[in-house]
Amino acid sequence: MLPDEVKNAIQSAYRQILESKSLTPRYGQRLMIAEIAKSLGQIEVAAVNGADEDDDEPGPGEDNGGPICVIEAGTGTGKTLAYVLGTLPVAKYMNKTVILATATVALQEQVTLKDLPDIKRHCDLDFTYTLAKGRGRYLCLTKLDMLLQGNDSLNAMADLYGEVIAAPNAHSLVLYEQMFRKINSGDWHGDRDDWENLLSDQEWSPVTVDNGQCVGQKCSNFSNCCFYQAREEVQKADCVVANHDLVLADLALGGGVILPAPQDSIYIFDEAHHLPLKSNNHFASFTRIKASLGAIDQWRKTLGKLGGDSVLEENRTLKRELPALEDTLEMAEMRLNEIWPLCEQVLADAVPDRQGDNAPQHAFELGLVPDHLREIAETLNTQYTRLASLFQELGNELKTNLEQGQSLESRQRAEYWFPLIGSMTARAAASQKLWQQFSRVDTPGQAPWARWLGLNDQGGNIDISISCSPVLAATTLQENLWRLCAGAVLTSATLSALGNFDVLKMRAGLPERTEYHRIASPFDYAKAARFTVPKLNCDPGKSAEHTEAIIQLLPKVLDKSEAALMLFSSRRQMQDVLAGLDKSWREIILCQDDYQKAQLLMFHKQRIDKGDPSIIFGLASFAEGVDLPGKYCKHVLIAKIPFAVPNDPIEATLAQWIERQGGNPFMTLSVPEAAFKLVQATGRLLRNETDTGRITLFDERIVSKFYGASIMASLPPYTREIFPASLVVNN
């Protein structure tokens, strides 16, 4: 139960913002604030008063996590203001940090640079906030020093890093000198995104490090480190703005490494429908066999150079463990050479991946790897576990040398060597994770992991990839987030499918204590938009016939005076439709294949501003997150109901498991998720309350198939026009 002081703070802030900005109260927004505050008010009093840290961590199988509130809030609700006002005052009273996670870095910056300052400016709510980014977005002062110290240092870097880092050319050297001056003057704080010009990966990668390459407090530049100074701000702020990837990276490291600990945090996940997939990606693993063999060969050379470095004091760990290291490297190499032909044989019978690069791919049914492959994988797991451990020991000894080396030169050489050994440790640990998951037998009754092989051709260099991934984020999110966090809010304009949250609950593993709410958009859909289904007289599954029908109808459906967005599920169909249209139409179409997304949207808006016709052809990435309000989009066209790609290894394994449990994967997964994606796609039309326009779906299955009615019912209540006489394809 929330005390009156918190309720009053929320109500006062909301009232002040409305008055200051001359806004009208929105029912949905007020309801969202109330539901969030009410849910988070259930956080245990012990968390407020400060329970012992030992009590914060649940035991195995326990679930002591805080309240979770899922809110689907339609476009126009004003979600950002609602979740900030509903969460921040509660969190401050509870002595918790708010971690506000967006789906992308761009949204993250919008919240930090626009939304939060605006809220703070227009009310007396007192809070601090900061933007959190990963280590790779910050400059490493030690690397910058090495690049600028001259020939001796550059030669040392070339010797240590080989092809990883090359000596800078004249242009890069000027850039790095400019960075050095701006750091020293305080005009720049080492954040890549704050640099005055766009930095390419080629320019940036030499001056940044990953977690394995950083020596932390033992670094000679630690007191001035750009990353650690930014992280210090993260630990102090009332609200930390991150993105889903950074939150999941922190959780994968155990939580509390990059961001405040889960038990001390209330999470807000905006665009929360992305969370399960992003979670799967973070807990998945991947390797390539020949690339792994190449790494082993490089490791041998590196260890030989390290052992022969006369400047370092005697490397006791390396000399003691070198024979064991060589044996382990040899065993791993032998096993990799053994598993190659076995994987090659499996892939010989595989079919090309039509949705990808036409490379053969094989997903093991229900994720079950054959015993002869699994046994080799178990051995590789053992070898890479040993390698990661030994590399870690070497790294620890180098850290000791950094502090206790008897000469300055010795300490500097240890600092030079540590990042390379750190990279070896990280790569060995990643390989160990892959082989452990590939050889693991899944727990009966639980969703399996997907395990698959792929054949990769990089300019004639053939390699075999091995991948593992959870099929559901349920277990990983339950273990790493839901059972630990003080509380969480998940929100988006679209979270439910077919009128319920079953798919989200299954994929994200949301616990039984979760509360679900749906808040309708304030838009008058029936008045603002018309939803039309032409009569194509063909099955969209017959690609050639369906494509020809679209080509025939488009000139009748489109109006050159209206800006339009056409969405395709298949790149091939998008290209074929474009090629089949008359030249006069092709000249006004901007195709996703021809431009970067931001560039394409800019060109489209420029055309519309000049009064010229413009139509966008795009794939799935244009079906969400694209904001084309008012005159920039008056017509959304959708080629077909967006069913998932059938040969995705993760989805295929999940479908097999659901079927094995007695379920129907088509009705459990395919139909709800297609409905979800269709709602998102149609949502590109109405971006504010004054927008109007048309939606056309070239897929009559929404009318003719047994599942079509449920998909149609899940759409907003647009005015519907089914099979108009003017839009019929004559076969």
Residues 464-489 have pLDDT tens digits of: 999 999 999 998 999 999 999 999 99
Q: What is the mean pLDDT of residues 47-75?
A: 67
Give domain status of residue 218, yes or no: no
d(CA 37, CA 6): 9
Query: Which pair of tokens denotes residue 686?
Result: 């109405």
Do residues 64 and 125 both lie within one domain?
Answer: yes
The beta strands (E) that lie in 97-235 are given as 97-102, 129-131
CB 473 within 8 A of CB 508: yes
Q: pTM of whole model > 0.95? A: no
DSSP secondary structure code for residue 725 in this structure: T
Q: How many CB atoms lie within 10 A of CB 551?
A: 18
Q: Is residue 356 predicted with pLDDT exceeding 60?
A: no
CB contact set of 117 (below 8 Å; sequence gap of 6+): none
**600: in domain:** yes
If residue 586 lies in a helix (H) or strand (E), which one and from where to where?
Answer: helix 583-586
Q: What average pLDDT does the chain have?
A: 89
> Do 44 and 154 fall within a single domain?
no
Cα 701 → chain centroid: 32
One domain for residues 484 and 377: no
Q: Are residues 25 and 123 in the same domain?
A: yes
Model pLDDT for residues 90-149, shown as the tens digit of each residue: 999 999 999 999 988 778 888 999 999 999 999 999 999 999 988 888 999 988 887 887
Q: Are residues 294 and 311 in the same domain?
A: yes
Q: Are residues 408 and 554 in the same domain?
A: no
What spatial distance separates the first Cα and last Cα of the chain, rounded to whole Å? 66
Q: In degrees, to the nearest 5, what angle opens at C-alpha 512 toward C-alphas 507 and 515?
A: 90
Tokens (6 digits) for 63: 């679930």
CATH number at residue 35: 3.40.50.300
The pair of structure tokens assigned to 191 is: 């954040």
Residue 699 lies in domain: 525-722
Mean pLDDT of 30-48: 83
Which two tokens mark 49? 């008063």
Distance CA 427, CA 421 (A): 10
Q: Is residue 50 classed as helix, strand or coil in its secondary structure?
A: coil
Distances in Å between the Cα of 351 and the Cα atoms of 468, 599, 647 are 19, 36, 10
**Dihedral pair phi/psi, residue 331, rounded to 5°:** -65, -45
Q: What is residue 687's three-state secondary structure?
A: coil
Judging by DSSP bridges, how do beta strands 449-458 and 68-73 pair with one another?
unpaired
pLDDT at 63: 60
pLDDT tens, position by position, 361-395:
999 999 999 999 999 999 999 999 999 999 998 88
pLDDT digits (tens, 9 = 90+) for 312-341: 666 677 778 888 889 999 999 999 999 999
| 354 part of a folded domain | yes
DSSP 480-527: IIITT-SEEEEEES---BTTB-HHHHHHHT--TT-EEEEE--S--HHH
Q: Which of 150, 176, 210 is the last residue of a domain?
A: 210
Predicted pLDDT of residue 47: 45
| β-sheet with 615-618: strand ranges across | 589-591, 615-618, 564-567, 635-638, 693-697, 529-533, 719-722
Look at residue 639 and tell me if it is in a domain. yes
Give the three-class secondary structure for 581. Answer: coil
Nearest to residue 552, comparing CAs of 524, 581, 522, 583? 581
pLDDT of 173 reads 86
Domain total for the chain? 4
Q: Helix, strand or coil for residue 718?
A: coil
For strands 360-363 and 351-352, give the pairing: antiparallel
Residue reference for tokens 């509380």 = 487
Per-residue pLDDT band at 49 (split at 50, 70, 90)? very low
Residues 641 and 660 in one domain: yes
Going by their DSSP bridges, the two strands 461-470 and 449-458 should be labelled as antiparallel
Q: What span, in angstroms and rounded, lies between the C-alpha atoms of 123 and 388?
A: 53
What confidence tens digit (pLDDT) does each residue in 207-250 have? 888 777 787 777 778 888 988 888 888 989 999 999 999 999 99
Query: How far apart, in whole angstroms, are the C-alpha atoms of residue 458 and residue 684?
Result: 37
Does 268 lie in the same domain as 187? no
